[in-house]
Structure 1
Amino acid sequence: MTSKPLSVSFTIVILTLSTTFSLQSDQQKVLLVSFDGFRWDYLYKVPTPHFHDLLTHGVHVKQVTNIFITKTYPNHYTLVTGLFAENHGIVANDMFDPVLNKSFSLDHMNIYDSEFWEEAIPIWITNQKAGHATGSAMWPGADVKIHKSFPTHYMPYNESVSFEERVAKIIEWFTSEEPINLGLLYWEDPDDMGHQLGPDNPLMGPVISDIDRKLGYLIQRLKEAKLWDVVNLIVTSDHGMTQCSKERVIELDQYLDRDHYTLIDQSPVAAILPKEGKLDEVYEALADAHPNLTVYKKEEIPERWHYKYNKRIQPVVAVADEGWYILQNKSDEFLLGNHGYDNALAEMHPIFLAHGPAFRKNFTKEAMNSTDLYPLLCHLLNITALPHNGSLSNVQDLLSSAVPKAIAYTQSTTLLGGDHLGELGQEESYPYFLGVSLGCIIVIVFFVIFIKHLIHSQLPALQDMQAEITQPLLQA
């Protein structure tokens, strides 16, 4: 029979184990939603009751500074890696890699070439390596095999799949027998219509209203599935949109011989690859060509853009002023709305709203960076963040007091290039791992004490038993 102290010790061990491993069962659930091209002020252009309901019952960030260039693929990869474009390698929607000698374009299937995506590790891979499951409904890049991995569940990109079908899949994954803890949901509008109409067109009103209805539909489905009070819903976008005009067009053919260069990416940031020996000639031809065009050699690109230290950034980059359009000539495709401009411009900024058990209620924050979302996601999911350019401390005040404050970390915000990720600092989510480690140490200590106590308590009995066994033999 064990002593009372040992019983108490054993009880402590059991409680420690249950407390330690309950951290995993209390895992936060996150649903990240992107409405492509939803500019920050669309919320106020027409009535948006469902967005404003989130404002009232959750958190809202007024100014979200996204990354340069302000286009879809670079910014969506930033949201799930926390990295600037020069660091994660998706520097544009259209790219050329001189080392791989390969092109990447939204117009071709080569966007599924894994080699373009593997300068970074997206959050779904980190989440799954931690033993969790992820589901992606059309998130850009999530249907690409990156570092030999896909999300646990994903829908191959198909823009004809309705928003309702995408939501149905997300709900199914969150409520399955082996549920996901991270969901990613993407919708193409209002970007598509913003390009066609321009953001200042009154016809954008119904488009924005439709997005609000879609958000309302998502919220209703979450409530029906009893997920509304469980899932942390984050609604954001990749970039904004600005109005363009055929009166504000810069024609490269007026200044450059097409035989002297290849145009890799177009308006409003023209990525120009000069033919061999033509670099200076191309640069000088464009340097003072137009008052609304600023031209940089790669090494001259402003540091604040974090857009020079990657092999996929071309030797000459020409940037149009807001609202101006770069074409080779006016017969090329022209869009009434466009994005990609300087990320300091307000019209390029996206939205950010969040609701859920981890977030405060009716709280408005002035500003954040899109790179800050990644460490926030890692904190919510209780997984270790990889090196990134964001800061959890920048968005810590969005979280409710019920959520333990994360440890503050310092990280670098500049790199020598995409191949030097190791130079970045790291923000990690330690509580679970610390708890498990301490729990294991306590278990081992008490187990050793238990065995030693058991041996010592049983030793006299063993000696008596041995004496009883030997006594008849002696008598014999």
Structure 2
Amino acid sequence: MRYTCIAIILCSILKNASGQYNVSGKLLVFLLDGLRYDYLNNLDTFPGFQKIVENGVKVDYLTPEFPSLSFPNYYSLMTGRYTEVHQMIANKMWDMKPNTEFSLDDPLWWNGSEPLWVTMQKLDKRVYMYYWPGCDVEILGVRPSFCEPYKPNITEKNLTDAMEHALDALNDGQADMAAVFYDKVDVIGHLFGPQSLSDELHCLDRAMKALNEKVVEKNMSDVLNIVMFSDHGMSEITNLIELDKHINLSDVFMVLDVGPVMSLWPKEEKFEEIFTALSALENMTTYRRADIPDRFNYKKGKFVSTLTLVAKPGTVITPTFQAVLDLHFQPSTSGGKHGAHGYDNELVEMRGFFVAKGPDFKSNFRAGPIRAVDAYSVMCHTLGIEPLPNNGSFDRVRAMLRESSTAVPVTQDSCLLVLIGLFTCLHVSLH
């Protein structure tokens, strides 16, 4: 009995000392779609973001998962898993057998993994979400406590109103976590290119200045962690590949997406002919599914096509010229620029952004590079919850956290090991 009591007391002490449990437990997350890692390099001209960085951490850059598209990385950020694991492998997907295309509100495409907000709800924690893609979908039978449905290209007022509502919900105890999505940086980067964002970035910075003021006004500085990240960067478009000039599109079952990465399902009898024709093109690599590089952590995904086309930097792939016109992705002949993402995720211009501040983060600290899958464990840590199995590395993010909150978490399993060890010692001493 004496050893059991010692073990229980020891586990209790360790848990109280553990970073997994010694945290504020309130988290506000921002997903700033398309905010490239270098857009805010000159922080002197962005006082809102500068205040966050001076009081928190900024990583050198965040490497997205492949493909460096939005939906795959939305889910990698919130599950800590590679695209081939969480199954959200593209912005547009197709399930061949039931002949079903991706729909934003269909749980089929979301049920491949459990995102953080679902885990929180299962733990009887309340999550409020604003404009976040998928928050209105019943994922694995669960919805967040509050969801303002996704709306593209929201205004600065939408953003600041969402921030105010989120802070009030967190401060009043209505929510344990809040998450805000903002995509205007991405929208403008696509339409006018990555060098066109000065006005929008200053607009976003005004919102961050307002956020800083509201956190102080509501006396939340010592209890609220704030994490901001993006899903990818942006690259200028300089070249176009039109597939219908090289293959007969009637020889394929399905062609999906327009951009740096494309999914193609050729008819079986035409597969080799199409593969040969596309493999001869410059500025693009054509992969059979089995030959997709392992480092992409992509090819085992349930919805991966039989051929995957990956463009070289600056190139966009389209089935027809009209398709790219409809999306305003074409290289401009009038001096204007357009932007795209989805390329090899190791491309410098695809790098994303990550900053954080709050009681669990160091102050005025510059951290080394991380990956999209690493953000998940940071959020779990600040919330004081056990992360689900994932592909991230806590070692890559440990340095940004305060020393008092980085101890290895103690679980029921580790306490059980303590008990077993003590009982073993007791058994030996009795014999």
Scaled by the length of structure 2, the TM-score of the pair is 0.85
3-state secondary structure, aligned to 2:121: helix
Q: How far apart, CA to CA, are the structure 2 residues paired with 1:347 and 1:45?
A: 17
Identify which of 301, 312, 325 aligns with 2:292: 301
Greater mean alpha carbon deviation, residues 375-384 or residues 154-163: 154-163
Contact kept? 2:69, 2:90, Cα under 8 Å = yes
User: Equivalent residue for 1:170?
Assistant: 166
User: Equivalent residue for 1:186?
Assistant: 181
Q: Shift in Å at residue 434 of structure 1?
A: 7.1
Contact kept? 1:382, 1:432, Cα under 8 Å = no
RMSD, aligned CA:
2.7
Amino acid at match of 2:129: S
Q: How far apart, CA to CA, are the structure 2 residues paired with 1:175 and 1:93?
A: 35
3-state secondary structure, aligned to 1:94: coil
Q: Shift in Å at residue 206 of structure 1?
A: 0.9
User: Equivalent residue for 2:41?
Assistant: 44
User: Equivalent residue for 2:53?
Assistant: 55
Amino acid at match of 1:32: V
Q: How far apart, CA to CA, are the structure 1 residues paired with 2:133 and 2:305?
A: 23
Q: How far apart, CA to CA, are the structure 1 residues paired with 2:117 and 2:414?
A: 22
Q: How far apart, CA to CA, are the structure 1 residues paired with 2:412 and 2:208?
A: 33
User: Equivalent residue for 2:388?
Assistant: 386
Q: How far apart, CA to CA, are the structure 1 residues paired with 2:86 and 2:23?
A: 31
Identify which of 245, 250, 260 aligns with 2:251: 260
Q: Shift in Å at residue 401 of structure 1?
A: 1.7
Q: Is residue 430 from structure 1 mapped to residue 410 from structure 2 by the alignment?
A: yes
Contact kept? 2:136, 2:143, Cα under 8 Å = yes
* Per-residue CA distance 1:225-246 (angstroms, 9 max, x = gap): 222331111111011011113x
Q: Shift in Å at residue 223 of structure 1?
A: 2.1
User: Equivalent residue for 1:409?
Assistant: none
User: Equivalent residue for 1:32?
Assistant: 29
User: Equivalent residue for 2:66?
Assistant: 68
3-state secondary structure, aligned to 2:93: strand
Q: Shift in Å at residue 311 of structure 1?
A: 2.4
Identify which of 328, 344, 348 aligns with 2:346: 344
Larger radius of gyration: 1
Amino acid at match of 1:130: L
Q: Is residue 142 from structure 1 mapped to residue 118 from structure 2 by the alignment?
A: no
Identify which of 248, 251, 276 aligns with 1:284: 276
Contact kept? 2:23, 2:383, Cα under 8 Å = no
Q: How far apart, CA to CA, are the structure 2 residues paired with 1:171 and 1:99?
A: 45
3-state secondary structure, aligned to 1:199: coil
Q: How far apart, CA to CA, are the structure 1 residues paired with 2:283 and 2:414?
A: 55
Q: How far apart, CA to CA, are the structure 1 residues paired with 2:262 and 2:277?
A: 14
User: Equivalent residue for 2:316?
Assistant: 325
Q: Shift in Å at residue 370 of structure 1?
A: 1.1
* Per-residue CA distance 1:61-114 (angstroms, 9 max, x = gap): 10211101111111011111001111111111110012443101xxxxx21100
User: Equivalent residue for 2:423?
Assistant: none
Amino acid at match of 1:377: M
Aligned counterparts, 1:377-456, within 5 A: 377-406=379-408, 429-430=409-410
User: Equivalent residue for 2:371?
Assistant: 369
Q: Is residue 250 from structure 1 mapped to residue 241 from structure 2 by the alignment?
A: yes
Contact kept? 1:72, 1:239, Cα under 8 Å = yes
The alpha-carbon distance between structure 1 residues 302 and 269, as it changes in their structure 2 partners (threshold 3 A), is same
3-state secondary structure, aligned to 1:151: coil
For structure 2, list consecutive stretches of 5 or more residues without a partner in the other structure: 330-337, 419-431
Q: How far apart, CA to CA, are the structure 1 residues paired with 2:126 and 2:415?
A: 22
Number of residue pairs matched by the alignment: 393
Q: How far apart, CA to CA, are the structure 2 residues paired with 1:373 and 1:70?
A: 16
Q: Shift in Å at residue 190 of structure 1?
A: 0.5
Amino acid at match of 1:183: A
The alpha-carbon distance between structure 1 residues 437 and 29, as it changes in their structure 2 partners (threshold 3 A), is farther
User: Equivalent residue for 1:205?
Assistant: 198
User: Equivalent residue for 2:76?
Assistant: 78
3-state secondary structure, aligned to 1:40: coil
Q: How far apart, CA to CA, are the structure 2 residues paired with 1:39 and 1:291?
A: 27
Amino acid at match of 2:59: V
Amino acid at match of 1:257: N
Q: How far apart, CA to CA, are the structure 1 residues paired with 2:100 and 2:410?
A: 40
3-state secondary structure, aligned to 1:111: coil
3-state secondary structure, aligned to 1:44: coil
The alpha-carbon distance between structure 1 residues 389 and 121, as it changes in their structure 2 partners (threshold 3 A), is same
* Per-residue CA distance 1:153-195 (angstroms, 9 max, x = gap): 221222357112211321232123x432211111112101111
Q: How far apart, CA to CA, are the structure 1 residues paired with 2:242 and 2:93?
A: 21
Q: How far apart, CA to CA, are the structure 1 residues paired with 2:298 and 2:406?
A: 35
Q: Shift in Å at residue 321 of structure 1?
A: 0.6
The alpha-carbon distance between structure 1 residues 124 and 25, as it changes in their structure 2 partners (threshold 3 A), is same
Contact kept? 1:137, 1:169, Cα under 8 Å = no
Q: How far apart, CA to CA, are the structure 2 residues paired with 1:437 and 1:180?
A: 35
Amino acid at match of 1:71: L
Q: How far apart, CA to CA, are the structure 2 residues paired with 1:24 and 1:436?
A: 18
Q: Shift in Å at residue 266 of structure 1?
A: 2.3
Identify which of 105, 110, 123 aligns with 2:116: 123
Q: How far apart, CA to CA, are the structure 2 residues paired with 1:241 and 1:355?
A: 25
Q: How far apart, CA to CA, are the structure 1 residues paired with 2:112 and 2:49?
A: 35
User: Equivalent residue for 2:100?
Assistant: 102
3-state secondary structure, aligned to 2:201: helix
* Per-residue CA distance 1:13-61 (angstroms, 9 max, x = gap): 9xx89x97xx979642111111110001100368212212222221111
User: Equivalent residue for 1:424?
Assistant: none
Q: Shift in Å at residue 433 of structure 1?
A: 9.0
Q: Shift in Å at residue 131 of structure 1?
A: 2.7
Identify which of 291, 310, 335 aligns with 2:301: 310
Q: How far apart, CA to CA, are the structure 2 residues paired with 1:404 and 1:34?
A: 24
For structure 1, list consecutive stretches of 5 or more residues without a partner in the other structure: 1-8, 105-109, 407-428, 439-476
Q: Shift in Å at residue 404 of structure 1?
A: 4.0
Amino acid at match of 1:283: F
Contact kept? 1:369, 1:390, Cα under 8 Å = yes
Contact kept? 1:77, 1:141, Cα under 8 Å = no
Q: How far apart, CA to CA, are the structure 2 residues paired with 1:432 and 1:323?
A: 51
Contact kept? 1:189, 1:211, Cα under 8 Å = no
Which structure has more relative contact order (CA 8 Å, sep 6+)? It is 2
